[in-house]
Amino acid sequence: MFKQSLAVVISMAALAGCASTTLPNPVDYATYRNEPLVKQVEEGMTKEQVLTIGGTPSTTTQRRAHPGTCNNYVLNREGHQQAYYVTFDNNGRVNSKGFMTCEQRDANERAM
């Protein structure tokens, strides 16, 4: 039984390594899942809708790998801070979001 469980855990870890870098960290997601940016922002929303939900971002950058922009936010909960990004395509629509900075996201895309 132990060997089977170990094999499953190793297989899942290997698959997780092959997965997209934009999948949420389970701990971050569990901690911040009820924050408006995490809970309400969805792909395809307009930049104006995101600003209404999340307010003014900490910074906004031009995306390097793709046309569009990226907003950096800082989520706060019980004294802990977590970076969170929302990217927009060249039409101003959300095309990704996650628990890292825009700069980290761009670095991950370049590394792939």
pLDDT tens, position by position, 47-92: 999 999 999 999 999 987 788 999 999 999 888 899 999 999 999 9
Instruction: Classify domain 22-111 at the CATH class level.
Output: alpha beta
Enumerate long-range contacts of 58-66, CB under 8 Å, 24 or more apart.
59/102, 61/102, 61/103, 63/87, 63/102, 63/106, 64/106, 64/109, 64/110, 65/106, 65/109, 65/110, 66/109
What's this model's pTM, rounded to 2 decimal places? 0.75
Give residue 75's pLDDT: 95
Give residue 3's pLDDT: 52
